[in-house]
Amino acid sequence: MTTENVLPLELIDKCIGSPIWVIMNGGKEFAGRLLGFDDYVNMVLEDVTEIDPIGGDKKLPKILLNGNNVCMMVPGGDGVSTFDDEEK
Amino acid sequence: MQDMQNGDSPQEVNQVGDTEDPSKFLGDIIGAPVVVKLNSDIVFRGTLQSVDGYMNISLERCREVDHNNKVVRDYGEAFVRGNNVIYICLDDGSV
Which of B80, B41, B43 is CA-nearest to residue A26?
B41
Output the pLDDT for position B4.
53
Output the pLDDT for position A26.
86
Intervals of chain A under pLDDT 50? 88
Q: Is the pLDDT of residue B11 over 90?
A: no
Give CA–CA dist A32/A71, Å, rounded.
16
Lowest mean pLDDT among A1-15, A35-49, B28-42, B52-66: A1-15
Local confidence band at B1 (pLDDT 50, 70, 90 cut-offs)? very low
Interface test with B, best of A7, A63, A70 (most B CBs within 10 A): A63
Give CA–CA dist B9/B6, Å, rounded.
9
User: In the predicted model, what is the mean pLDDT of residues B37-49?
Assistant: 95
Collect all residues from B whose CB is shorter than 8 A from any CB in A: 4-11, 13-14, 17-26, 29, 35, 39, 41, 55, 67, 82-83, 85-90, 92, 94-95
Tell me whether A35 touches chain B (CB under 8 Å): yes
Output the pLDDT for position B14.
47
User: Chain B contacts of A48, Cβ < 8 Å?
Assistant: 89
ipTM of the shown complex: 0.82
Q: Is the pLDDT of residue B85 over 70?
A: yes
Output the pLDDT for position A4.
80
| B85/A60 Cβ within 8 A | no
* pTM, full prediction: 0.82
Instruction: Using CA coordinates, name the residue in chain A closest to B12.
Output: A13
Q: Is the pLDDT of residue B12 over 60?
A: no
Output the pLDDT for position A2.
65
- Determine phi and psi for A4, rounding to 5 degrees: -70, 110
Output the pLDDT for position B90.
94
Tell me whether A69 touches chain B (CB under 8 Å): yes
For each of the domains in chain B, give its residue range(s) and CATH number, in order of start.
22-90 (2.30.30.100)
